[in-house]
């Protein structure tokens, strides 16, 4: 009997089924459709073999012809079902979720229902001569037409919508159906080669390997699902409007002395503890962070509370846990916002962070600001304003601080207080800081400010610049590019920069000082200021922060501290800049304690380049 290829295909499908069913699986719509297609293919192969056996025995051993026809008809009906299931799998995973797509799928389902009814009613016969065995008749013809319609439709959908899915999915689905179509044509030309069943099984293997292999989404170390699996799951849930809840648990070690063995043991205990909460899928999001997906928010809260109780009972691990809860997926606008939420709040230090409207709105505002910064950088809408600094010794304006603004498309400006904190959090401060530095150098190249008495411009450099960039490189690059005298540049650093990477900071400072650039310690008095900052740092100036300066006029204790600090700094041959001076009385008070440089609205707000030049023409010439 001519059943060798079908038996091989049946063995292959059995292996695929066993491997698929023995692995942990995600609750995905496509995966559910795939397993249905595999099962239909499996039974199609069984009835293909049974039909050949029945025809053989009818021809050679007087087996009941009616039973043979019933078996043959069941085979071709399952073949039509296989074509429909294949189309449904491909269409569901490829077509966009729009009304027209749903109508198209409904039409094809009706074609399947009426087609199966027609195949069941129409007569069927069979033929065997040597190794050539096949069923024939109107029912068989209708079945092959229907199967051909589904196969061609799947190929067309794959080609038309190829840009809507990944190249990997497109190639897998297209190759699967192309192999089936090619096998059908060969079998039609050479009836003795019964290739259709084998081609179907081979196509399923391609899908399994390329798209539906569960082990591809398992983390080998912990046995939990990986981040690719979570991405698939979340996209699937939003695509098919399936609500869910989600929580994460993160291990936060409270000591740096945890060794690798303890870390691994802690991770495995965490995974085991979370897995024991229920059948819901557990995802490894990072080495120390895990998440669980639930269908119901109430169950998520109950399981999370139980996990927290278990964690609170653990005393042998130097770690605390932080939790992030998303009670209702409808609060978020889709997969992108879901992952943005996880990324935004994954490092929160409070024990429990719950997604609510206030927190989500804060994140959306930050994302809007981030996008605004990206657009401003792309469209060159960053502008540098200059706030004049009064030299009390020289009785004129010899310096200025460079302050960035973002110009809106309507002509207004966004102040740094609105976007600098966001830029510092997400790393945009690095390209932003470089752009500001370049614009200052371009301004100094013109020479107008120097002619009018400006001896240096103060520029802020972020702490992040010292962590991830080589500030020495870009500073010297722009100074050389715009032919700027290094003595015209004074870089302001903050206590944050000092605290984050002191060794790297000092190295970069020394290299730039050797080139003639000077440094100031900015915002002095706002953080944990101590003598170490100006005793051991090679700074030339100390800038008293606005709040520190204003406290001088309101608090006697601060008044004595500030005056004492000024005396100490002067004894070390340092200069002091006081920010936030707004009245003549405040100016006189600063002059009484010999503050050399005064900055504030008393003299001027930050000005764009042209207004700054006009200010210098008016005030420095008068001086």
What is the 3-state secondary structure of 141-184?
HHHHHHHHHHHHHHHHHHHHCHHHCCHHHHHHHHHHHHHHHHHH
Whole-angstrom distance, CA of residue 414 vs CA of residue 416: 7
One domain for residues 91 and 143: yes
- What are the φ and ψ backbone dihedral angles of 249, each rounded to 5 degrees? -125, 130
Please state, in angstroms and rounded to a whole number, the distance separating the CA atoms of residues 151 and 181: 7
Structure tokens at 15: 């292996």
Q: DSSP assignment, residue 592?
A: H
355 pLDDT tier (thresholds 50, 70, 90): very high
State the DSSP H helix or E strand holding residue 473, giving kind and residue range, or none if neither: helix 471-481
pLDDT bucket at 259, cuts 50 / 70 / 90: confident
Same domain? For 235 and 157 the reply is no
C-beta separation of 326 from 341 below 8 A? yes
What is residue 538's predicted lDDT score, i.e. its pLDDT? 86
For 463-484, what is the mean pLDDT? Answer: 82
CA atoms of 26 and 30, how far apart (whole Å): 10
Q: In terms of domains, do 394 and 314 share one?
A: no
In DSSP terms, 576 is beta-bridged to 542
pLDDT for 623 beyond 60: no
Identify the domain boundary among 215, 236, 258.
215
Question: What value does the mean pLDDT take over residues 95-115?
Answer: 88
Contacts of 604 (CB under 8 A, 6+ apart): 387, 388, 615
Same domain as 225, residue 189:
no
CATH number reported for the structural domain that contains residue 347 in this entry: 3.30.70.270
> d(Cα 494, Cα 459) in Å, to the nearest integer?
12
Among 200, 210, 179, CA closest to 40: 200
Read off the pLDDT of each residue in 518-538 and give the average, rounded to a whole number: 71
* pLDDT (mean) for 573-592: 93
> For 390-419, what is each residue's pLDDT tens digit?
999 999 999 999 999 999 988 899 998 889
pLDDT of residue 562 exceeding 60, the answer is yes
Which DSSP symbol is given to 254?
S
Q: Span 494-503, mean pLDDT?
A: 66
d(CA 538, CA 505): 11
**In whole angstroms, what is the distance from residue 312 CA to residue 407 CA?**
51
3-state secondary structure of 397: strand
CB distance 437 to 459 below 8 Å: yes
In a domain, 361, yes or no: no
State the average pLDDT over residues 487-511: 79
The Cα 580–Cα 602 span in angstroms is 8
3-state secondary structure of 357: helix
Rounded distance between C-alpha atoms, residue 63 and residue 138, angstroms: 23
Residue 621 pLDDT more than 70? Answer: no
Q: Which residues is 407 bridged to in the sheet?
A: 413
Does a structural domain hold residue 517? yes
Q: How does residue 530 score in pLDDT terms, banded at 50, 70 and 90? A: low
Specify burial of residue 566 (Cβ count, 10 A radius: 0-12, 13-18, 19+): buried
Say whether pLDDT at 467 is over 70.
no
Asked whether 581 and 602 are in contact (CB, 8 A), the reply is yes
Q: Are residues 67 and 180 in the same domain?
A: yes
Question: Which residue segment(s) compose the domain that 261 sits in?
Answer: 218-355
Structural domain includes residue 479? yes
Domain closes at, from 186, 215, 244 = 215
Percent of the chain with pLDDT over 90: 46
Q: Identify which of 147, 144, 129, 126 has the alpha carbon closest to the alpha carbon of residue 192.
A: 129
Is 79 inside a domain boundary? yes
Tell me the average pLDDT of the chain.
88
For residues 201 and 242, membership in a common domain is answered with: no
167 confidence band (pLDDT: 50, 70, 90): confident
Domain-embedded: residue 83: yes
Q: How far apart are CA 271 and CA 51, in angstroms?
A: 50
Least confident of 171-180, 192-201, 372-381, 421-430: 192-201
pLDDT at position 75 is: 92
The domain boundary, picked from 355, 375, 398, lies at 355
Q: Say yes or no: 474 and 394 in one domain.
A: yes
Task: Let me know whether 311 and 416 are in one domain.
Answer: no
* 519, β-bridge pairs: 491
| pLDDT (0 to 100) of residue 318 | 81
CA 240/CA 224 separation, integer angstroms: 24
Whether residue 591 is predicted with pLDDT greater than 90 in this model: the reply is: yes
> Picking from 23-37, 136-150, 491-505, which range would have the lowest pLDDT averaged per residue?
491-505
Render pLDDT for 19-34 as a digit per residue (tens, 0 to 9): 888 877 788 888 889 8
Same domain, 152 and 175: yes
Q: Is 64 helix (H, G, I), strand (E, B) or coil?
A: coil
pLDDT value, residue 163: 83
Asked if the model's pLDDT at residue 81 lies above 60, the reply is yes
Res 531: pLDDT: 59
Dihedral angle, C-alpha 136, 137, 139, 144, nearest 10 °: 50
Residue 481, both tokens = 């590019």
Average pLDDT over residues 351-370: 91
Greatest distance between any 2 Cα atoms in the chain: 122
Give a yes or no: residue 360 inside a domain: no
Please check whether residues 128 and 264 belong to one and the same domain.
no
Residue 21 CA, chain-centre distance (Å), reads 31
Angstrom distance (rounded) from CA 360 to CA 565: 44
pLDDT band at 498 (very low <50, low <70, confident <90, very high): low
- Res 516: pLDDT: 93
Checking if the pLDDT of 534 tops 80, the result is no
Cite the DSSP H helix spans in 255-356: 260-275, 297-312, 335-345
401 and 294 inside one domain:
no
Residue 122 · residue 131 · CB < 8 Å? no
Give dist(CA 438, CA 402) in Å, integer: 11
Residue 497 confidence (pLDDT): 60
Q: How confident is the model at residue 525 (pLDDT cuts 50, 70, 90)?
A: low
pLDDT score of 545 more than 70: yes
pLDDT at 2 over 70: no
Q: What is the pLDDT, as a whole number, of residue 162?
A: 83
Classify residue 199: in a domain, yes or no: yes
Mean pLDDT calculated for residue range 322-339: 93
Residue 438 belongs to some domain of the structure: yes
Q: What integer pLDDT is reported at residue 51 of this predicted model?
A: 92
CATH number at residue 11: 1.20.1070
Distance CA 349, CA 325 (A): 14
Do 35 and 157 sit in the same domain of this protein?
yes
Per the structure, how many domains does the chain have?
3
Residues in the chain: 623
- Dihedral sign for Cα 416, 417, 423, 424, please: positive
CATH number of 441's domain: 3.20.20.450
pTM for this model (two decimals): 0.73
């Amino acid at each position: 009997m001519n059943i060798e290829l079908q038996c091989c295909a049946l063995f292959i499908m059995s292996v695929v089924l066993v491997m698929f069913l023995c692995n942990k699986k995600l609750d995905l719509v496509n995966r559910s459709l795939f397993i249905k297609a595999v099962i239909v293919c499996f039974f199609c192969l069984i009835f293909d073999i049974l039909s050949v056996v029945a025809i053989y025995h009818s021809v050679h051993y007087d087996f009941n012809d009616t039973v043979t026809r019933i078996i043959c008809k069941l085979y071709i009906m399952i073949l039509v079902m296989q074509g429909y299931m294949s189309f449904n799998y491909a269409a569901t995973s490829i077509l966009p979720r729009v009304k027209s797509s749903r109508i198209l799928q409904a039409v094809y389902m009706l074609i399947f229902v009426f087609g199966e009814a027609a195949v069941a009613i129409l007569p069927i016969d069979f033929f065997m001569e040597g190794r050539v065995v096949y069923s024939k008749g109107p029912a068989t013809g209708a079945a092959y037409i229907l199967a051909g319609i589904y196969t061609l439709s799947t190929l067309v959908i794959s080609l038309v919508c190829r840009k809507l899915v990944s190249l990997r999915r497109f190639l897998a689905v297209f190759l699967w159906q192309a192999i089936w179509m090619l096998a059908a044509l060969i079998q039609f030309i050479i009836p003795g080669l019964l290739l259709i069943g084998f081609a179907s099984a081979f196509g399923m293997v391609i899908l399994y390997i390329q798209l539906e292999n569960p082990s591809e989404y398992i983390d080998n170390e912990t046995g939990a699902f990986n981040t690719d699996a979570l991405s698939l799951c979340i996209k699937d849930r939003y695509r098919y409007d399936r609500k869910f809840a989600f929580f994460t648990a993160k291990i936060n070690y409270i000591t740096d002395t945890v060794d690798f063995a303890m870390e691994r043991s802690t991770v495995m205990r965490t995974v085991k503890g979370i897995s024991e909460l229920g059948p819901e899928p557990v995802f490894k999001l990072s080495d120390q962070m895990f998440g669980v997906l639930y269908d119901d928010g109430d169950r998520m809260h109950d399981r999370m509370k139980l996990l927290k109780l278990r964690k609170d009972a653990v005393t042998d691990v130097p770690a605390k846990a932080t939790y992030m809860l998303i009670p209702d997926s409808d609060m978020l606008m889709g997969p992108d916002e879901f992952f943005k939420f996880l990324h935004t709040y994954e490092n929160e230090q409070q024990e429990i962070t719950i997604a609510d409207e206030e927190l989500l709105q804060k994140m959306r505002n930050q994302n809007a600001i981030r996008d605004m910064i990206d657009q401003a950088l792309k469209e060159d809408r960053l502008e540098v304003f200059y706030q004049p600094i009064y030299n009390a010794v020289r009785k004129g304006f010899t310096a200025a601080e460079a302050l960035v603004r973002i110009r809106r498309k309507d002509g207004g400006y966004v102040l740094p207080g609105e976007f600098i904190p966001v830029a510092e959090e997400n790393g945009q401060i690095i390209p932003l800081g470089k752009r500001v530095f370049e614009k200052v150098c371009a301004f100094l190249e013109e020479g107008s400010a120097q002619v009018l008495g400006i001896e240096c411009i103060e520029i802020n450099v972020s702490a992040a610049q010292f962590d991830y960039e080589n500030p020495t490189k870009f500073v010297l690059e722009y100074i050389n590019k715009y032919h700027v005298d290094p003595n015209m540049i004074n870089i302001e650093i903050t206590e944050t920069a000092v605290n984050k990477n002191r060794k790297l900071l000092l190295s970069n400072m020394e290299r730039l000082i050797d080139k003639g650039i000077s440094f100031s310690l900015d915002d002095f008095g706002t953080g944990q200021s101590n003598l170490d900052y100006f005793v051991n740092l090679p700074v030339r100036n100390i800038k008293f922060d606005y709040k520190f300066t204003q406290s001088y006029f309101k608090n006697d204790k601060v008044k004595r501290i500030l005056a004492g600090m000024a005396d100490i700094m002067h004894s070390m041959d340092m200069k002091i800049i006081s920010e936030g001076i707004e009245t003549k009385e405040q100016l006189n008070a600063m002059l009484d304690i010999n503050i050399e440089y005064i900055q504030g609205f008393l003299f001027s707000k930050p000005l764009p380049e042209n207004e700054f030049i006009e200010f210098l023409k008016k005030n420095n010439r008068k001086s």
